[in-house]
Structure 1
Amino acid sequence: MSTVPAQLAVDADLVRALLESQYPQLAHHPLKEVGDGWVNYVFRLGKDLVVRLPRRDSVAGLMAKEQRWLPGLTAGLATGTSVPLYVGVPEALYPYPWSISEWFDGLDVSLQPRDRNVALARPLGDFLNAFHQPAPRDYPPNPVVGGTLATRSQAVQERLRSGMVPHAARIEQIWAQAVNLPPWNGAPLWLHGDLHPANLIAKDGTLQAVIDFGDLTAGDPATDLAAAWLVFDATGRRRLRESLGRQYDGDPSVWLRARGWAVYMASNLLAAADRHPGLYLVGSETLMEILTDDLTWL
């Protein structure tokens, strides 16, 4: 049984009715529920498409944000994404925006051993180099990610005091160091905002897609560079940095802030174990990567 709260029940019959109403040319394809996440219901549509529908009021704006920004941001990217191919609009049957995207026939990276992710370092670096571009002034704000680490201190401290984070004293030292570093000194760059393994799809040893851009915003690229610890082991981190070239060399603190963001995200995964039990291991492994990293790759 899902532990995820939902304000609105969605089943295949409702999705089929939405398709018949708005995209009748797609309504004849087989439809199967394949995901029951915190933010969206997910239904596979035929062989090549996926329907994503927000679960409740508080996350409906994330889908609207993807619809507004992703088509322009992903045009020309070599990496696949969950960009909406068809935009669903609210109606009497269902009151939120919804989308149809490409289905990527691969493996959620959180489900494979971390040492296999080394092969993903270069393609993920290529994605970040292409995606981390200066954003316009009206970029979508995000109250959680993209800003300074200090805004997350209360949440991290509460998790460290809760007993749910192993080696809390050492993690607190690493966090304090990151919070006191100089902030990002460049223009706000576009950010995925939630670049953990479950938002990466791999197949045959390469990166197929980056998905779920609900936290899309702009700001400090260290937010996304936290993937160095969330996704990779020491070898993978070194290869990721090499693949990024000199893009961040103007900010000598960017990687240590990224380690701070990895602390924030990993502790969040541990705290949300009841909602995302499959990601508890990602959070735990990430903290071990942080604790054992000698930073000689920087």
Structure 2
Amino acid sequence: MHDDELTIDEDLVRSLLRRDVTAYADLALRPLESTGSTNRLFRLGDEHLVRLPCQPGGSATITQEALRLPSFAANLAVAVPEVAAVGEPGFGYPERWSVVRWLDGEKPGPGAGDVTAADLAGVVTGLSRTEVPPEALDDPDLRWYRGSPIAGFDADVRSRLKECRDLAELDLDLDAVETVWDEVMALPPVETAPHWVHGDLLAENLLSRDGRLTAVLDFGALSVGDPTVDLICAWELLDASGRDEFRRLLDLDDATWLRSRGWALFIALMTFPYYRHTMPVRCADRLVMARAALAG
């Protein structure tokens, strides 16, 4: 999937467990078929999951999750991963890794009514009200592009648009995308107080059951900055009436709502060229999001 992807297999995971987490070392271990793009996931017994970054540099996210997740658990009405152990590099594998408690649920279908507007608004609100400690404001590991103002990404989006125009199979009105993006770029600059930003609040990082959101997963994109990007969850997961309710619950003005459309389109445009061969389900989800963002 990635040019710099690390080699991770069951033998490596078993060796790391036996060295660092002996209490879990002999539990049943199996790789999960769906592991996302940043971590390899292994089910460990009935109650745990092993997460190993699949690219160099992933240790920072493992460290941040172990440090920050308890604060989010206290402020969100849904579950977040509970880190049971953090392991160190070894056996040729260069990154830290973690064992977290297993959370039951299913990935919600984009636009399928598997979560409510109130659930998603509650997550955004909970993230916002979680205090950002002073040391986090200056932590370089908590600075990522998705916590930056959308106004700074004009060149990136136009470059991705050009790439997407070469994808004959992409059924998306790219002229309409460019029109919406022009509207986003015409907005006046805005400064926001720094907040926690999940950064990847999309269907593949959520769990649901019986039409309700039950958990938020994978805080590997966690950063401090402008939280507008987290509004993309509404564009991928809710229908038009749900998005209207979500916007009302969060009291979002026209400019913020338009910026969130810009983020949804930007992230979708990045996805199609890079993952079209390796993650077709992700591309299908982002197509739902992009079309919703075009619909407004």
Q: TM-score, normalised by structure 1?
A: 0.86
Cα distance in 2 between the residues matched to 1:124 and 1:236: 10
Alignment of 1:247-262 (within 5 A): 253-262=255-264
Cα distance in 1 between the residues matched to 2:16 and 2:287: 40
Deviation at 1:76, TM superposition (A): 4.5
Alignment of 1:70-219 (within 5 A): 70-92=69-91, 94-109=93-108, 112=109, 114-117=111-114, 119-133=115-129, 135=132, 136=134, 137-139=137-139, 140-162=141-163, 163=165, 164=167, 166-219=172-225
1:30-81 alpha-carbon deviations (Å, 9 max, x no partner): 1110044321110011112111001121433322332333233333532112
1:200-256 alpha-carbon deviations (Å, 9 max, x no partner): 111222112111111111222211012221222202212322443x4x5xx652111
Paired position in structure 1 for 2:54: 55
Change (3 A) 1:64 1:286: same
Cα distance in 2 between the residues matched to 1:290 and 1:77: 26
- After alignment, is 44-53 or 65-74 more displaced? 65-74
Deviation at 1:19, TM superposition (A): 1.4
Deviation at 1:269, TM superposition (A): 2.1
1:163-222 alpha-carbon deviations (Å, 9 max, x no partner): 146221221111121123234443111110011111111122211211111111122221
Residue 146 of structure 1 aligns with an amino acid whose one-letter code is G
Change (3 A) 1:102 1:236: farther
Q: Does 1:30 align with 2:28?
A: yes
Residue segments in structure 2 that go unaligned for 5+ positions in a row: none
Cα distance in 1 between the residues matched to 2:121 and 2:105: 19
Residue 120 of structure 2 aligns with an amino acid whose one-letter code is L
Cα distance in 2 between the residues matched to 1:223 and 1:183: 16
Report the aligned-residue RMSD. 2.2
Percent of aligned pairs with the same amino acid: 33
Residue 31 of structure 1 aligns with an amino acid whose one-letter code is L
Cα distance in 2 between the residues matched to 1:143 and 1:105: 29
Cα distance in 2 between the residues matched to 1:160 and 1:8: 30
Secondary structure of 1:85's counterpart equals: strand
Deviation at 1:93, TM superposition (A): 5.2
8 A contact 1:66–1:83 mirrored in 2:
no
8 A contact 1:193–1:215 mirrored in 2:
yes
Q: How many residues align?
A: 284
Question: 4+ runs of 1 displaced by more than 6 Å?
Answer: none
Paired position in structure 2 for 1:46: 45
Residue segments in structure 1 that go unaligned for 5+ positions in a row: 294-298
8 A contact 2:59–2:96 mirrored in 1:
yes
Paired position in structure 1 for 2:288: 285
